[in-house]
Amino acid sequence: QALAEGVTPIVIGLAADSGCGKSTFMRRVTSTFGGDQCGPLGGGFGNGGWETNTLVSDMATVICLDDYHLNDRGGRKISGLTALNTAEQKFDLMYEHVRALKEGKSVMKPIYNHVNGTLDAPEKIEPTPVIIIEGLHPFVDERVRDLIDFSLYLDISPAVKLNWKIQRDMEERGHSLESILASIEARKPDFDAYIEPQKQFADYIIEVLPTDLDPEDKKTLKVRAIQRKGVPDFSPTYLFDEGSEITWIPSADKLSSPAPGIKVAYRQEEYFGNDVAVLEMDGNFDNIQELVYVESNLGNTNSKFYGEVTQAMLSLADSPGSNNGTGLMQTLAAFAIRELYNKKAAAAKLASNKKVAAAAA
Ligand code: ADP
Ligand code: G6P
Ligand 1 site-directed mutation target among 84, 133, 164, most atoms within 8 Å of CB: 164
Q: Which residues of 111-150 are buried (b: 16+ CB within 10 A; e: fewer)?
A: bbbbeebebbeebebebbbbbbbbbbbbbbbeebeebbbb
Extents of the domains making up the chain: 8-153, 203-304+319-333
Q: Are 27 and 317 in contact (CB under 8 A)?
A: no
CA–CA separation, 301 and 290 (whole Å): 17
- State how beta strands 118-125 and 130-135 pair: unpaired
CA–CA separation, 32 and 14 (whole Å): 16
Residue 205 has pLDDT above 60, yes or no: yes
Q: How confident is the model at residue 210 (pLDDT cuts 50, 70, 90)?
A: very high
CA–CA separation, 106 and 98 (whole Å): 10
Q: What tens digit of pLDDT does each residue of 286-304 get?
A: 999 999 999 999 999 999 9
**101 backbone dihedrals φ, ψ, rounded to 5°:** -60, -40
- State how beta strands 107-113 and 39-41 pair: unpaired
Query: What number does the ligand 2 atom closest to the CA of 187 have?
Result: 11
Whole-number pLDDT of residue 258: 97
- State how beta strands 238-239 and 298-299 pair: antiparallel
Q: Are 137 and 16 in contact (CB under 8 A)?
A: no
Mean pLDDT to the nearest integer, 56-68: 90
Q: At residue 85, what is the residue type?
A: N
Ligand 1 geometric centre to CA of 306 (Å): 29
Q: What tens digit of pLDDT does each residue of 78-93 get?
A: 999 999 999 999 999 9
Q: What tens digit of pLDDT does each residue of 130-143 get?
A: 999 999 999 999 99
CA–CA separation, 312 and 292 (whole Å): 11
Ligand 2 geometric centre to CA of 117 (Å): 8
Q: How confident is the model at residue 44 (pLDDT cuts 50, 70, 90)?
A: very low
Q: What one-character-per-residue DSSP string does 11-45 give? A: EEEEE--TTSSHHHHHHHHHHHTTGGG-EEESS--
Q: Which residues of 318-342 are buried (b: 16+ CB within 10 A; e: fewer)?
A: ebbbbbbbbbbbbbbbbbbbbbbbe
For ligand 1, residues with CB inside 6 Å are 16, 18-24, 47-49, 164, 167-168, 320-321, 326
Q: What tens digit of pLDDT does each residue of 101-156 get?
A: 999 999 999 999 988 999 999 999 999 999 999 999 999 999 999 999 999 999 99
Q: What tens digit of pLDDT does each residue of 227-260 get?
A: 999 999 999 999 999 999 999 999 999 999 999 9
Whole-number pLDDT of residue 42: 29
Ligand 1 site-directed mutation target among 24, 63, 156, most atoms within 8 Å of CB: 24
In angstroms and rounded to an integer, the radius of gyration of the C-alpha atoms of the chain is: 21
Of all protein residues, the one whose alpha carbon is nearest to atom 11 of ligand 1 is: 19
ipTM: 0.91
Q: How confident is the model at residue 2 (pLDDT cuts 50, 70, 90)?
A: low
Query: What number does the ligand 2 atom closest to the CA of 117 have?
Result: 16
Give the single-character DSSP code of 78. H
Ligand 1 geometric centre to CA of 4 (Å): 35
Ligand 2 geometric centre to CA of 203 (Å): 26
Ligand 2 geometric centre to CA of 135 (Å): 11
Whole-number pLDDT of residue 56: 65
Q: How confident is the model at residue 45 (pLDDT cuts 50, 70, 90)?
A: very low
Whole-number pLDDT of residue 323: 97
Mean pLDDT to the nearest integer, 319-334: 97
Across all residues in the chain, what is the average pLDDT? 91
Ligand 1 geometric centre to CA of 146 (Å): 29
Q: At residue 17, what is the residue type?
A: D
Residue 41 has pLDDT above 80, yes or no: no
Q: Is the CB of 18 under 6 A from ligand 2?
A: yes
Looking at the chain, the whole-number percentage of residues with pLDDT higher than 90 is: 75
Q: At residue 82, what is the residue type?
A: T
Q: What tens digit of pLDDT does each residue of 22-36 get?
A: 888 999 998 888 754
**242 backbone dihedrals φ, ψ, rounded to 5°:** -60, 130
Query: What number does the ligand 2 atom closest to the CA of 76 have?
Result: 14
Mean pLDDT to the nearest integer, 330-356: 90
Ligand 2 site-directed mutation target among 23, 65, 66, 134, most atoms within 8 Å of CB: 66
Whole-number pLDDT of residue 353: 86
Contacts 24+ apart (CB under 8 A), 286-289: 286/256, 286/257, 286/258, 286/323, 287/256, 288/313, 288/314, 288/317, 288/322, 288/323, 289/314
Q: Are 23 and 160 in contact (CB under 8 A)?
A: no
Name the closest ligand to CA 14.
1
Tallying the residues shown for the chain, one arrives at 361
Ligand 2 geometric centre to CA of 89 (Å): 12
Q: What one-character-per-residue DSSP string does 156-211 give? A: E-HHHHHHHHIIIIIIIT---HHHHHHHHHHHHHHIIIIIGGGGGG-SEEEEEEE-
Ligand 2 geometric centre to CA of 113 (Å): 10
Whole-number pLDDT of residue 33: 82
Ligand 2 geometric centre to CA of 37 (Å): 29
Residue 194 has pLDDT above 60, yes or no: yes
Whole-number pLDDT of residue 136: 97
Query: What number does the ligand 1 atom closest to the CA of 49 have?
Result: 7
What is the arrangement of strands in the sheet containing 263-271, beginning at the earlier edge strand? 39-41, 54-56, 60-64, 130-135, 10-15, 150-156, 204-210, 221-228, 274-282, 263-271, 246-248
Name the closest ligand to CA 164.
1
Query: What number does the ligand 2 atom closest to the CA of 77 have?
Result: 14
Given CATH 3.40.50.300, say whether it is the number of domain 8-153: yes
| C-alpha of 350 from chain center | 29
Ligand 2 geometric centre to CA of 73 (Å): 8
Strands (E), the chain: 10-15, 39-41, 54-56, 60-64, 107-113, 118-125, 130-135, 150-156, 204-210, 221-228, 238-239, 246-248, 263-271, 274-282, 298-299
Mean pLDDT to the nearest integer, 185-197: 95
Q: Is the CB of 89 under 6 A from ligand 2?
A: no
Name the closest ligand to CA 324.
1
Mean pLDDT to the nearest integer, 196-206: 98
